[in-house]
Homo-oligomer: A and B are copies of this chain.
Amino acid sequence: MIQLLKNNYGHLFEDALLDEINQVGTFKEIPEGFTLIEIGQYIRSMPLLVEGAIKILRDDDDGDELLLYFLESGDTCAMTLSCCLGDKKSEIRAIAELDTKLIMVPIQKMEEWTGKYKSWRNFVFQSYHNRLMEMLETIDSIAFLKMDKRLLKYLKDKAAITKDHIIKSTHQEIAYELHTSRVVISRLLKKLENQGIIHLNRNFIKLNSSI
């Protein structure tokens, strides 16, 4: 585990902190599609991503869903942080987008380290900053873009996260994450295909490389 830590967090944390993480952290491998956090759940430890990606979703009371953003290796979940410190319930759902490796750190240590290590403090602040910026980007998309642009942005983001220009999703799955209906997505995808931007297939979509 220490090697994984050094690769992903070596440039951020001093050796003493890396050692501590190595001692108290537990390594976990999560398969694609696995739900890490449900809404309303209390959280007792904080994930440090070392490989893969996690998608963060918002649900409302009626079961409506919306993709907020993705986390990648080197990231941590600021929502989780926030929940841990305040001992509050999670407001979001977290699902592994890819097979993912992470190190879980118990919350007590987290608090201790914010006093002890400046690098940890900076990391936590930076995480909050990154998450605020992602939320802003999400708001920009929902508020200022029409669905066709949002869809294209979604496809590009997904391709970037998975490092693959083939997006393995059904129209229904995309519709859920953008909080719209399958028919709307099918309609707009067909338009994008007619414009030569994508190519449609059953169960996957190819993003044309020129984009």
Besides A64-B144, A128-B128, A138-B139, 14 new A-B residue pairs in contact (Cβ under 8 A), listed by A number: A58-B139, A60-B140, A66-B139, A81-B125, A82-B125, A82-B128, A85-B125, A85-B126, A86-B126, A92-B136, A114-B125, A132-B132, A135-B139, A143-B179
With contacts A118-B115, A144-B64 known, is A129 near B86, CB below 8 A?
yes
Q: Give chain A interface residues in 30-63, CB to chain B under 8 Å.
A: 58, 60, 62
Given A78-B132, A128-B82, A132-B132, A142 contacting B140 (CB threshold 8 A):
no
B179 touches A133 (CB 8 A): no
A33 → chain B closest CB, angstroms: 23
Say yes or no: B139 contacts A68, CB within 8 Å. yes
Measuring CB to CB, which residues of chain A are less than 8 angstroms from any residue of chain B?
58, 60, 62, 64, 66, 68, 78-79, 81-82, 85-86, 88, 91-92, 114-115, 118, 121-122, 124-126, 128-129, 131-133, 135-136, 138-140, 142-144, 179
Contact indicator B131/A132 (Cβ below 8 Å): yes
Q: How many copies does the complex hold?
A: 2
| B-chain residues with CB within 8 Å of residue A144 when the two chains form the complex | 60, 62, 64, 66, 179
Please pick, from B60, B129, B131, B136, the residue contacting A85 in the complex, using a CB distance under 8 A: B129
How far, in angstroms, from A62 to B144 measured CA to CA in the complex?
A: 10
**A135 CB contact (under 8 Å) in B60, B85, B135:** B135
- 4 closest A-B pairs by beta carbon, nearest first, are A82-B129, A128-B128, A135-B135, A60-B144
Closest-CB distance, A128 to chain B (whole angstroms)? 4
Which of B58, B115, B128 contacts A78 (CB under 8 A)? B128
